[in-house]
Amino acid sequence: MAEVDLQALERDMTAWPRDLHAHPEFGFEEKRTSAFVAAKLREFGLDEVVEGVGGTGVVGTLKRGSSNRAIALRADMDALRIPEQGTQDYRSRISGTMHACGHDGHTAMLLGAAKLLCEEGGFDGTVRFVFQPAEEWGKGALAMLADGLMERFPFDEIYGLHNMPGLPVGHFETRTGPIMSAEDNFEIVLKGVGGHAARPHWGNEVLVAACATVLNLQTIVSRRLSPTDIGVVSVTELITDGTRNALPGLARILGDARSFRSEISAEIEKHMRIIAEGTALTHNVAAEVTYTREFVPLLNDAALVDEAFAAARTVFEPGHVTTAREPMTGSEDFARFLEHVPGCFAFLGNGEASAPLHNPSYDFNDEGLLHGARFHAAIARRRLRPA
């Protein structure tokens, strides 16, 4: 097997995410992105490339040797409905949509790993390259699984990477057990009788009740959960049908809740319903609560975390491979794959000066591309070591 010219690969990998960054696509709309990925995988010489998995997902398969073991490497491809404020010449050409989370870089890193493993080999078994749609709204992994991912492209374990602003480039972090949280969504609808702003006593307006509800929801974490449990309840929208001189008769309170255990999620929902209904009763209005679970907690397998650390130490400088001190309360639908097979999800540094994820000025740091590709290749070779 020929050895890949890493400088040439890095040049290619820099061009790929810039092309994808300029043409972002929202979840399940990644047709151009999927076609780009599939064309590259075929160009590299994979044994099989299947498009349309779970809608717009792509799965590439590379086999070497005779082992029947298989692992999966996963990247997400979708962008966000955020207008970009970047000034770079490869900024988004699609109004109102941008790669504000670095999925363009994640896709490029996995493509780079596919090229490395195609040309250099060094493993015995099967590598599945899983390019997933619609991660941002938590539906892409489920769609691929519902489309028979595990049956059509079986694998024994799975690995994923995400860039992390604030972590220096060239640094790698992960941890055993919970590393990213569940995400629950909620909507509380308050119904009363609106009316003239000059005569509030003639109706049962809902705005004061809505404001009281928002404040009371803050007591769930501070007073209803144990201080040793992690939970977050965030109200993100308050929408009414009122106007400048009319009191509203309808209010909608929307937001999300984060936790790492199903029991905590259940406690949050229980107390949210008690608070919403009780506060509404106090203000003589009605309350309806809708509570849904969008993401499950991401729980890394202990043995595979050790394997990921060992692989990372062959790529990163000594001292730059560390255990994440605490789990993140962000969510990732990579967790859905871990309901079927063990795996490990890890973070790569995007730079201490990087804008935050989901920020209109965010940009993936090209200096991290080769690190990600080499880690993907390293874990594949480690877990599929020739006998």
Over residues 203-219, the pLDDT tens digits come to: 999 999 999 999 999 99
| pLDDT of residue 387 exceeding 90 | no
How does pLDDT run across 16-27, given as a tens digit for each residue?
999 999 999 999
| pLDDT at 252 (0 to 100) | 98
Q: Which of 2-6, 328-332, 375-379 is least confident?
A: 2-6
pLDDT average, residue stretch 141-148: 98
The helix (run of H) or strand (run of E) holding residue 211 is helix 207-217
**318 pLDDT band (50/70/90 cuts)?**
confident
Structural domain ending residue among the three candidates 295, 313, 332:
295
pLDDT average, residue stretch 216-238: 96
How does pLDDT run across 41-68, given as a tens digit for each residue?
999 999 999 999 999 999 999 999 999 9
**167 pLDDT band (50/70/90 cuts)?**
very high
Full residue range of the structural domain in which residue 257 is found:
182-295
| pLDDT at 193 (0 to 100) | 97
> Taking all residues of the chain, what is their mean pLDDT, rounded to a whole number?
97
> Does residue 1 fall inside a structural domain?
no
| pLDDT at 247 (0 to 100) | 97
> Does residue 45 fall inside a structural domain?
yes
> Does residue 154 fall inside a structural domain?
yes
Structural domain ending residue among the three candidates 295, 327, 355:
295
Q: How many domains is the chain partitioned into structurally? A: 2
| pLDDT of residue 151 exceeding 90 | yes
| pLDDT at 1 (0 to 100) | 65
261 and 276 together in one domain: yes
